[in-house]
A and B are shown apart, each in its own frame.
Chain A
Amino acid sequence: MGNYLLRRLLIAIPSLLGISIVLFTVLALAPGDPFEELATNPNVPPEVSAMLRQKFGLDDPVYIRYVRWLTAMAQGDWGFSFVSRVDVDDLILQRLPTTLLVIGSSQILAILIALPIGIYAATRPYSLFDQIANTLAFIGFSLPTFFTGVLLILIFSIWLGWLPFVYRADIPATGWEFYWEHFKQSIMPVTVLGLFQGASLVRYVRSAVLDVIRLDYVTTARSKGLSERVVILRHVVRNALIPVVTLLALQMPAVFGGAIVTEQIFRVPGIGSLLISAMLSNDTPVIMAVTFVFACLVVLSNLIADILYGWLDPRITYR
């Protein structure tokens, strides 16, 4: 096992290097310029933006810039944002709590919805409940978040006036009021994301359970006289959830990455909105850092998923 882990980690290094080269090259080739606003401002002489470019090393060839970035990154220096002149790791750390809170709770909501509905639907396939659950799931994942988000804003903020639609990370209240305000402003973004993810998860859980429920050992368990409840929870669900757990592990990077569209609609100051604003202002160091963190998380959660497999299913061994 230790050997396997070491080998997997060693393999991850070249793939991360490859990813970083591709990311860096694509960003370098993309049009745009972080000092665009300077270039179009007649009061700023062109020398200023030329000097800034030189100072930030933007005029060097791509490979030199890449090597510089890589050596700095290896020493733990993430660089600084061209736009705000703040260190990139500070920027990311500032956004992380909100991202984890909002996206994390939406994932939990998704799981809380998907598991019971998916399992119940699978135990009664093609029943009325299954049909309704299926239909709702289809509607759920075919409606994009930018539509449901705006719809919720219209209904709950503008017509009913119940919920605020501008998310504020700093709430000037203390005690219960603080938590209440946080809860109130999180309802809409969490619902939008949770329902969207939950909808596709329902379909997944349902089919996984359906695959297992027809197997012979389930029939055996039933003929032993076990109650239906025990059969489903102990024998069916446990086996059926193996692929679902993997799926959830693979979704972990998404939790950190935030949800660009939803964050934009509700002004949630998460990593997704950091990424989009960095992209719009061509702030290369921030884009590079955020995307690279995603890449690391994807590689890492793949590894975790593989290890989880072995833990859940002893038939899988690592060599």
Chain B
Amino acid sequence: MDDRKLRKLIGDVKGGRLSRRGFLRHMAAVGLAAPLANQLLAFGGVAMAETKYDYKPTKAGGGGALRVLWWQGPTLLNPHFAVGTKDQDASRIFYEPLAAWDPEGNLIPILAAEIPSRENGGLSADGLSVTWKLKKDVTWHDGKPFTADDCVFNWEYGRDPASAAVTIGTYKDVKVEKVDSHAVKVIFPKPTPFWADAFVGIRGSLIPKHLFEPYKGAKSREAPTNLKPVGTGPYTFVDFKPGDIVLGKRNEKYHRENRPYFDTIEMKGGGDAVSAARAVLQTGEFDYAWNMQVEDSVLKKLEEGGKGKIEITEGGNIEHIQLNNTDPWTEVDGERSSLKTKHPFLTEPAVREALNLLVDRGSVQKYIYGRTGIATANFVNNPPKYRSPNTKFEFSVEKAIKLLEDAGWKKGGDGIRTKDGKRLKVVYQTSINQPRQKTQAIVKQACQKAGIEVELKSITASVFFSSDVANPDTYPHFYTDLQMYTTTMPQPDPELFLNQFCSWEASSKANKWQGRNITRWQNAEYDETYKAAQKELDPVKRAALFIKCNDLVIKHRVVIPVVARPRVSASGTKLTARLSGWDNDLWAVADWYRGA
């Protein structure tokens, strides 16, 4: 799909010949996630829509206590330091961003008065800046007004390397200017079609300038407010014990009408996922539990208790298998999987295609993940409404055998195929996690039928996912032929996501295995397309280039997607929790209520 066709589609939406949903479905099929597709429409002059949410309570308060259970306890309450989702969620009770992502990838104003668009003058035509108008009469929990100075301060705080904030990636390249007391301008170094990163969503929560200013930079750790948050959010701070509990009570001056419904909120941490599911689904001690990493069959059994239900939220996580393009078994200059080597057979298209046919995604979903892992052939994840009906996956041992036969791989005496003295034997690694070991077994079985020998390797998660330079078993080292894990796409813009296939990002000893291209796939056409997209001024052309990047990855079978991993949580039968796969679980905690 080139930019002309894209432009025509956007025109169709504007002219009413194509529905917004239809457009998003088209985009999803070619690898653009819903939030970016929505932003494209905004550039084309089609304002963002808000997914309808039915909020029933007619007054704030009176809902009693909201009790939520996170089986990993939150450890800190400063959104700029929040590494894990548990900390981001806990901070979100007290702090808010300017805007947040709803389940369909639309931006919803929170502290912003409106979403910037071309019509309201928020978006500049050249893509070099975006102006946010802030809501007036919003106050911090201590009564001080929320103004544009606070936004500017958050930018300074986040981008200062000495603060050691995790939001540095969001703020380091942009510039933020105060326009007036209730408007800020975010200026980009180059035309940026994806303008909604700073001050938006997970990393966009804002902290008050008047309390954090003395603690910017190297003293960031000492701020007393790190542990006693003062935000603009629906609940004010009561108590916090790291790793155990966060307590809040209703913010009576909350800036959104009739919200929040609950009088107090309690977020309890610790324990394990199964008992957390029990506490919601079976005993009803808690209203909501996060991240149910529990086998679906167990969840189904617990649901029979009738006290709660399982909520599945589509998001951006994909369990996928990576194919090594370099030779993991030859050491060159002190490293294996060196860029100077080439994998003896995994670089052969026929072998890659055959492996793709040998992953029985249907069975993986049916027998292992159930509702918690949906078989997919697409590397770009998307809400089910937009999932293209055309993408399909196939499992066929016969076709795989035929492909290998045609490519000259003949079965030897031991049933394993060989060609030019090379044996089709792969080592397939993943982290220790029951569903992953079961998936490994399913793949191994199919491969053996097709004459590929598979040796399975499982590594403790804390080693596999570490950035330890000295340990050869981490996933960035990739010292085996195949490996499997879940990749996340927490940011809707694909630019960062797609750089994991660029040649210069290849993980190697030289960059201490910090490069993001783990498969070491190197393709000149991809690199050029990606670079062109980075430089592209026109958002539509840029989107078209990203679509091409995605096509190249799929065409060359750089990775084999297995299942999409939606977010799974448990909530009480009466609780209405507004969830979004593009933001934190508690992104809209002000909208939660308990109905009859």
Contacts and interface: CB of A to CB of B under 8 A. Distances in A.
Contact of A42 (B241, B460, B467, B491): B491
B581 to A, nearest CB: 16
Interface residues of B, number: 59
A166 B285 contact: yes
B474 to A, nearest CB: 9
Contacts of A305: none
B23 to A, nearest CB: 26
Contacts of B84: 37
Interface stretch (B110-118, B268-276, B362-370): B268-276
- What interface size band does chain A fall in? 35 or more
A39 B485 CA distance: 14
A84 B227 CA distance: 9
B488 A277 contact: no
Contact of B467 (A39, A165, A273): A39
Interface in A260-284: 264-267, 269, 273-274, 277, 280-282
B75 A81 contact: yes
Given A31-B468, A86-B227, A166-B286, A42 B496 contact: yes
B246 to A, nearest CB: 10
A1 B168 CA distance: 61
B164 A52 contact: yes
B514 A81 contact: no
Given A31-B462, A42-B497, A48-B168, A85 B81 contact: yes
Interface string B54-82: 00000000000100010011011000010
Given A31-B462, A32-B468, A51 B161 contact: yes
Given A166-B268, A277-B73, A45 B168 contact: yes
Nearest to A39: B467
A85 B271 contact: no
Given A42-B497, A94-B241, A265-B275, A86 B76 contact: yes
A61 interface: no
A168 B538 CA distance: 55
Nearest to A277: B243
Nearest to B245: A170
A40 interface: yes
Contact of A80 (B161, B164, B203, B221): B221
Interface stretch (A114-122, A127-135, A153-161, A307-315): A153-161
B292 interface: no
B311 interface: no
Nearest to A56: B164
Interface string A43-54: 111111111100
Interface in B478-536: 488-491, 496-497, 500, 514, 516
A12 B462 CA distance: 35
Contacts of B172: 45
A274 B514 CA distance: 30
Given A83-B75, A158-B283, A42 B271 contact: no
A48 B81 CA distance: 11
A202 B270 CA distance: 33
Interface in B445-485: 460, 462-463, 465-468, 471
Contact of B247 (A36, A83, A170, A273): A170
B516 A36 contact: no
B242 A86 contact: yes
A31 B460 CA distance: 10
Given A153-B275, A172-B264, A277-B73, A31 B466 contact: yes
Given A33-B466, A161-B283, A44 B245 contact: no
Nearest to A161: B283
A202 B271 CA distance: 31
Contact of B76 (A46, A85, A95, A170): A85
Q: Is the interface of B mostly helix, strand, loop or mixed?
A: loop
A40 B467 CA distance: 8
A189 to B, nearest CB: 12
Nearest to A49: B467
B169 A43 contact: yes
Contacts of A94: 241-242, 244
A91 interface: yes
Contacts of A45: 168-169, 172
Q: Most chain-B Cβ atoms within 10 A of its Cβ — which of A32, A51, A52, A280?
A: A32
Contacts of B462: 31-32, 36, 280, 282
Interface in A45-71: 45-52, 55
B537 interface: no
A73 interface: no
A281 B84 CA distance: 11
Nearest to B490: A43
B179 to A, nearest CB: 27
Interface string A163-204: 011101110100000000000000000000000000000000
Given A32-B463, A48-B166, A264 B83 contact: no
Interface in B352-378: none
A43 B245 contact: no
Interface in B234-292: 239, 241-245, 247, 264, 266, 268-272, 275, 278-279, 282-283, 285-286
A194 to B, nearest CB: 21
A141 interface: no
Contacts of B491: 42-43
B248 to A, nearest CB: 12
Contacts of A50: 514
B242 A84 contact: yes
A46 B469 CA distance: 13
Contacts of A292: none
B270 to A, nearest CB: 5
Interface string B138-162: 0000000000000000000000010
A294 interface: no
A84 B226 CA distance: 10
Nearest to A281: B75
A49 B239 CA distance: 29
Given A269-B245, A277-B243, A85 B221 contact: yes
B286 A36 contact: no
Given A32-B463, A33-B466, A36-B462, 13 more contacts: A32-B468, A41-B488, A42-B516, A44-B169, A49-B467, A83-B83, A158-B278, A166-B271, A166-B285, A166-B286, A168-B268, A170-B266, A267-B275
26 contacts: A32-B468, A33-B466, A39-B466, A39-B514, A41-B166, A41-B490, A43-B496, A48-B168, A50-B514, A51-B164, A81-B242, A83-B76, A84-B242, A84-B243, A86-B227, A94-B241, A158-B282, A165-B279, A165-B283, A166-B268, A166-B271, A170-B245, A170-B266, A172-B264, A273-B270, A281-B75
Per CB-CB distance, the 9 closest pairs between chain A and chain B, nearest first, are A84-B75, A39-B467, A269-B244, A46-B514, A84-B242, A267-B271, A33-B466, A31-B463, A267-B270
